[in-house]
Amino acid sequence: MTFIRHGAAALLALVLVGSLTACAPEPEPVQPKKPAAEQAAEAKPKLAKPEPQPEAEAPAAPAPTGFDRKAHSIDDPMSIWVVGNKLRPLNPVEFEPSDLVPTEGVANDNGQPLREVAARATEQLVAGALDAGFDVRVISAYRPYALQVQLYESYIARDGQAAADTYSARPGHSEHQTGLTVDFDDYGACYLASCFGETPAGQWLAENAAAYGFIERYPADKESVTGFMPEPWHFRYVGPELAAEMRATGVTTLEEFFGLPAAPGYAG
């Protein structure tokens, strides 16, 4: 009996070691030790005209990939890269940004503020849209926790919780609460409707928002990743660098870009 138990323990240990090894990073290549004679030769003063050393010009490490995916936190609710979804409530859930400001010079239906960086970017985006011939207004921006509680409860009362969960974030899980998220409209017939993405204004936004630092947060065909139906009016400020990188790499959701688990539903 004892032998069998020990045997099983040994086998388990082997399996564990094996699986750990499989996940371990590649070991650094070990520099072979030079013979003592060669070391001594290197210690001698160099000749007046040393051989050119091409290694000196090459970077010591492999060329950097160019984009630092850790430049900002994805957990800190004050970070422009914070990722909130059905599995990632804001922490704390009643988080309130410290630098909310009103938008200036843009139509803002509910008068909701934004974090300063997102407010300025929104003003530039709306001006850019106007230059392109589209009169774009802000419908919804920062929504405090208490307001999200009210909205979510009213949706449950109207449609039931299962339906409400497909289009409204539970309190503490909405990126509107970060002060970095804006719902846009163009005074047309597709007010907060899926057809907004097919309007010229919606298409202009999808094409140009990245230049102002915004991404379409709930793109088409990504409901299984983001947990939300497509919302072509709902844009999230992440900064022009990340927005450009996502476009360049063709990755359309924050979850996929940062290697986070898909969040199709709430944990409980």
Catalytic residue ranges: 231
Residue closer to Zn ion, measured from CB, 26 or 112:
112
* Distance from C-alpha of 56 to C-alpha of 65, rounded to nearest angstrom: 21
Residue closer to Zn ion, measured from CB, 15 or 148:
148
| Binding interface with Zn ion (CB under 5 A) | 183, 234
CB contact at 8 A, 123 and 103: yes
Q: How far is the CB of 69 from Zn ion (least distance, A)?
A: 25
Position closest to Zn ion via CB: 234
**Pairing mode, if any, of strands 214-216 and 100-101?**
unpaired
Q: How far is the CB of 147 from Zn ion (least distance, A)?
A: 13
Q: Cis peptide leading into 92, omega within 30 of 0? A: yes
Residue closer to Zn ion, measured from CB, 17 or 146:
146
User: Residue 119: what are its φ and ψ, rounded to 5°?
Assistant: -65, -45
Residue closer to Zn ion, measured from CB, 81 or 142:
142
3-class SS at 143? Answer: coil
| Concatenated DSSP letters of 77-119 | TTSTT---BTTB--SSTT---S-EE---SS-BTT---EEHHHH
* Distance from C-alpha of 99 to C-alpha of 78, rounded to nearest angstrom: 9
Q: How far is the CB of 83 from Zn ion (least distance, A)?
A: 15
State the helix-helix crossing angle for 200-208 and 116-131, rounded to 10 degrees: 130
Q: How far is the CB of 204 from Zn ion (least distance, A)?
A: 18
Please calculate the CA angle 138-141-146 and round it to the nearest 5 degrees: 140
Residue closer to Zn ion, measured from CB, 183 or 186:
183
Q: How far is the CB of 183 from Zn ion (least distance, A)?
A: 4
